[in-house]
Amino acid sequence: MKILVTGASGFIGGRFARFALEQGLTVRINGRRAEAVEALVERGAEFIQGDLSDIECVRRLCQGVDAVVHCAGAVGVWGPYAHFHQANVSVTENVIAACLSQGVRRLVQLSSPSVYFDGRAHQGLTENQVPQRFSDHYGKSRVCCRFVASRVAAQNLARLGGGRREWCSLAKSSNNAWRDFARNPKGRARFSAMLRFSMAHLAG
């Protein structure tokens, strides 16, 4: 299987790409900083640098791959909403459009627990619970990404027929996972479980 991992110069994307290489997959990667993916290239990854806001670039990235793991995006608590919308929502729309045009079989989108955070503590949250307000623009933009991907997935599942395997799968992970990963064995185990969960979505 050949996969594309976006955002491979970041923590989540980089670890997922390395994990995929260790599982024997052929991996194409994209990221903002070439120097940040040198270790992945040395392990056998194919690096293609480019701006995901350029739809033609994204189409080229998606050519010839069986699945896409979309980890790229802007994170943070400061900045105008337009910045987060462009880097998260618009880029996700480009990735989805490119997957459709290039016949990519499966898309796994990694999200964030920020989609549920409204500044208060919560327990027992379900996937369908969305805050009435968000503590920052990042969380709001990530929810928009999820709605975009879910809508397209539903449309394509309906088009293909309910008995066929769905085109798009969604997986969630914590963009703050590096804290637990770096500090304790339990955190590393949870992070590894997230990688295995996402990998299982690639195979369907």
Q: Is 116 a catalytic residue?
A: no
Q: Which of 138, 167, 181, 191 is catalytic?
A: 138
pLDDT at position 165 is 36
Higher pLDDT, 200 or 134: 134
Q: Which CATH architecture has domain 2-203?
A: 3-Layer(aba) Sandwich (3.40)
| Confidence band for 191, pLDDT divided at 50, 70 and 90 | low
* Helix (H/G/I), strand (E/B), else coil: 110: strand
Q: Given pLDDT bands bounded at 50, 70 and 90, which one contains residue 26? A: very high
Domain ranges within the chain, ordered by starting residue: 2-203
Joined together, the tokens standing for residue 43 give 């392990």
Mean pLDDT of the chain: 77
Does the pLDDT value for residue 21 go beyond 80? yes
Pick the more confident residue, 21 or 154: 21
Confidence band, pLDDT 50/70/90 cuts, at residue 196: low
Which has the closest alpha carbon to 13: 76, 84, 69, 96?
A: 69
> Which tokens sit at 174?
């914590």
Both tokens assigned to 114: 């920020």
Rounded to 10°, the helix 185-203/11-22 angle is 70
- How sure is the predictor about 199, in pLDDT bands with cuts at 50, 70 and 90? low
Considering only residues 185 and 123, tell me which one the structure prediction assigns the higher pLDDT.
123
Which of residues 177 and 77 earns the better pLDDT score?
77
Task: Specify whether the CB–CB gap between 109 and 92 falls below 8 A.
Answer: yes
Please give the Cα distance from 105 to 166 (Å, whole number). 9
DSSP structural state of residue 200 = H
Q: What is the pLDDT of residues 27-79, one digit of tens each?
A: 999 988 889 999 999 999 999 999 999 999 999 999 999 999 998 988 877 88
Q: What is the pLDDT of residues 75-117, one digit of tens each?
A: 877 889 899 889 888 999 999 999 989 988 888 887 777 777 7
- 25: Cβ contacts below 8 Å, ≥ 6 apart: 1, 2, 3
Reported as a pLDDT band with limits 50, 70 and 90, residue 204 is: low
**Tokens 């990998």 -> residue:** 199
Dist. CA 10–CA 12, nearest whole Å: 6
- Residue bearing tokens 């500090």: 183
- What is residue 203's three-state secondary structure? helix
Look at residue 201 in the predicted model and tell me its pLDDT: 59
User: If we measure between CA atoms, which residue out of 66, 73, 204, 71 comes closest to residue 138?
Assistant: 73
Question: What percentage of the chain reaches a pLDDT higher than 90?
Answer: 33
Cα 132 from chain centre: 24
